[in-house]
Amino acid sequence: MKFHKEGIPTLIVTIIFSVIIISIAQLLFSPYAIAHWFSYLLSGFLLIVVIQFFRHPTRTHTISDNEIIAPADGKVVVIEETEETEYFKNKRIQVSIFMSPTNVHVNRYPIGGDVVHAKYFEGKFLVASLPKASTENERTSIVVKHAANGKSVLFRQVAGALARRIVMYSKVGDKATQCGEMGFIKFGSRVDLFLPLDVKMKVKIGDVVIGSQTVIAEF
């Protein structure tokens, strides 16, 4: 288990805040032991929350040309046929994974291949579970063209009511490695996948998936 680099600024701020809170308790409320204990407990709680949120577990995976792997930890909240209007402009199977604040928030490539599209969109911060969040919220879209079969998958990082920071590492021309890191979303959100219609689904709505481990579908 490692601590993700995206959490370092948040950790530093949390440590500074904790030092200030403990110092105030000792200087202004020195006769009151309860104030000291409260400052210790609050500081400890905040540090635990930050550390668990930005945890980066070490996971092994087997690269497979015929499998589409979960790009994030979370719960499958949408599986439906829809019109993808940004890049493909045709019908696709949309799979949405909702990431709660307690999930690991590293985002990974579901397939390997060439990054042929990578774009950031400014937007709103609606609750991520709402259907319109996929097109109205702050988001990124990445399309990878499979190196072996030539099929393409679009996956989208979507910000939510709490997630105000999306990090995307991808750029056009990159070589994507299946299950390799492509970004990070802070404080809970969702990831959408837009898959070819002829894939064989391996998950259903309500399933809990693990990034880089769970097979979402097969080509």
Catalytic residues: 189
Cα–Cα distances in Å, from 43 out to 12, 23, 37, 54, 184?
Answer: 13, 11, 10, 17, 25
- Give the residue carrying structure tokens 């370092």: 8
| CA-based R_g, the chain, Å | 20
How would DSSP label each residue in 121-159?
A: E--B---TTSTTHHHHBSEEEEEEEETTT--EEEEEEE-
Q: How many other CB atoms sit within 10 Å of the CB of residue 37?
A: 11
Contact (CB, 8 A) for 172 and 117: yes
- Give the residue carrying structure tokens 């928030």: 105
Contact (CB, 8 A) for 163 and 128: yes
Cα(192)–Cα(147) distance, rounded to whole angstroms?
21
Q: Which amino acid is at 219?
A: F
